[in-house]
Amino acid sequence: MEYVNLGRSGLKVSRLCLGTMNFGPYTTEADSFKIMNRALELGINFFDTANVYGGIENPSGLGDTEKIIGNWLTEDKSRRDKIVLATKVYGRMGTAPNQSKLSAYHIRKACEDSLKRMKTDHIDLYQMHHIDRETPWEEIFQAMEQLVREGKITYLGSSNFAAWNIAEAQMTAKQRNFLGLMSEQSIYSLRNRNIELEVIPACKHFGLGLIPWSPLGGGILCGVLEKSKEGRRTREPLQKSVEKLRPQLEAYEKLCKEINLAPADVALAWVLSNRVVTAPIIGPRTVEQLEQNVKSLDIKLDTETLKMLDEIWPGPGNQAPEAYAW
């Protein structure tokens, strides 16, 4: 396993990040334990979750994924110091008016609740799951700085931020002599390359590690035309996407056959080929899927293959404003 610095920090993380969104809704606790155990054996030390996981489709399950991680950490206390544990704050955790977003009130309570569910005394990377346009940065950073002083969080990250949100956050943090953001977690795959316009250049400029989520396009890049319908592939939005993107998918899967590589491996290898990327998030439902994902680390796509992938899944062509103005 290769390890890289998370952005401009001295923190070393594995080149793949274990996503846990399936833990609970689609993967039992026992199988989740097996996946986390195998991830450690394979050298993956970067684990990502969120306080709302487990309840995205069923509100009664809010926090269940963090609880599964907590139970796993309790089973063998030596595991905690072997992983970089990341979770998120923002999502609605109840019906009361202050049970969501990024007020200092909610940040404090959400952090304490995540610590209890995961049965740990600190979070290595605490990520804002979305931008809160109603709360000033001074309030957000005051709350985060307090959590750092108390030893409850170590690094701060963002997720789903626009480039100007990142710039505003970093300028405010600099004024407060605070480290600010160390990472940005964005949707990024061959299927969705929008962040190449501004978010990736912003991450590069400010020294943020990029943690792509859904690098397999929500399952669309996993050989979906040939695989049987199971798990999350049965969702109606995915089925509609398949029909909408069928010509591209047919060309993509044909190319993967020609180069004798699994579509999912090609998709991950493509994301990893971007130098700004720290670690794409993989979300296996089984140990077998995890082991397959790890194979992508050994794949180096040649220039001709990258060119063909650009033709099938074109991006903006450049960063802004060159992509549309020059």
Minimal CA–CA distance to 118: which of 173, 51, 54, 164? 51
Kindly state the tokens that stand for 111: 């952090």
Residues in Cβ contact with 241 at an 8 Å cutoff, skipping those fewer than 6 apart? 218, 220
- Secondary structure (3-state) at 185: strand
Kindly state the tokens that stand for 188: 């990024």
On the question of a cis peptide bond just before residue 321, with omega within 30 degrees of 0, the verdict is yes
CA 217 to centroid of chain Cα atoms: 12
Q: Which helix (H) or strand (E) holds 213?
A: strand 209-213
Q: Which helix (H) or strand (E) holds 203?
A: helix 199-206
**155 is a catalytic site residue:** no
Candidates 26, 53, 126, 252; catalytic one: 53
Identity (one letter) of the amino acid at 13?
V
Known catalytic residues are 53
